[in-house]
A and B are shown apart, each in its own frame.
Chain A
Amino acid sequence: DQQVKQNSPSLSVQEGRISILNCDYTNSMFDYFLWYKKYPAEGPTFLISISSIKDKNEDGRFTVFLNKSAKHLSLHIVPSQPGDSAVYFCAATLQGAQKLVFGQGTRLTINP
């Protein structure tokens, strides 16, 4: 059973528009959430994170929103650029723990 779910395998967005990637989790004990980005033939790299004490964290064009009551988080990319085309993984953990639980990933394609 998947504790972290990304229900959209793929997403296509026009360059300059907003990309919204979604992630749901089932374990209410999770209190720290991360997004990783993966290009083809490379390993995932860390993008942005959020603690459960916050509902929003922003880093440049990237913003992560957390809705604890819905057990849902989302990653917003504004404006989207062609270089953002990649697979995005959502991950959850207990703060201070080393073990990350990842979702299935969403392939984002930014069209020029």
Chain B
Amino acid sequence: DAGVIQSPRHEVTEMGQEVTLRCKPISGHNSLFWYRQTMMRGLELLIYFNNNVPIDDSGMPEDRFSAKMPNASFSTLKIQPSEPRDSAVYFCASSFPQALQETQYFGPGTRLLVL
């Protein structure tokens, strides 16, 4: 059974360009999480959805970041315009709502480099 799928796996772009990261959660999972990993801050939760509705976006760093979940099987994280400090690994995770915390399943991540 497929796990969480993220695309692209790697993205290199220039400062000022728009970047769109994509995530397909595990089928049947109702909660979706976007995380960012950096050396300095580790894994940070950016935003999460329950049943396609954003619940908590307090981790989104700036207005340049936006996330959508148009349906239960797809979510996007968009950065516009991108800046070099956005370079990081971005993870998507999914789970059943009200599940034990350990049942968050992570995708392989998208490594983003903004030049």
Contact = CB atoms under 8 A, between A and B. Distances in A.
B47 to A, nearest CB: 10
B45 interface: yes
Contact of B4 (A4, A43, A97, A100): A43
Contacts of B33: 98
A105 B88 CA distance: 14
Interface stretch (B14-22, B61-69, B74-82, B94-102): B94-102
Interface of A is mostly: loop
A104 B35 CA distance: 13
A103 B42 contact: yes
Contact of A43 (B44, B91, B97): B91
Interface string B21-54: 0000000000101010101111111001010000
Nearest to B44: A102
A13 interface: no
What is the interface of chain B mostly: helix, strand, loop, or mixed?
Answer: strand
Contact of A100 (B41, B45, B97, B109): B45
Interface string A38-53: 0001111110010000
A63 interface: no
Contact of A44 (B31, B43, B55): B43
A96 interface: yes
Given A98-B50, A100-B104, A105-B43, 17 more contacts: A2-B41, A4-B42, A32-B101, A41-B108, A43-B4, A43-B105, A46-B102, A89-B43, A91-B101, A93-B101, A97-B101, A98-B31, A98-B97, A102-B44, A104-B39, A104-B41, A104-B42
Closest 5 CB pairs of A and B: A43-B106, A104-B42, A102-B43, A46-B102, A102-B42
Interface of B: 4, 31, 33, 35, 37, 39-45, 48, 50, 55-56, 91, 93, 95, 97-98, 100-109
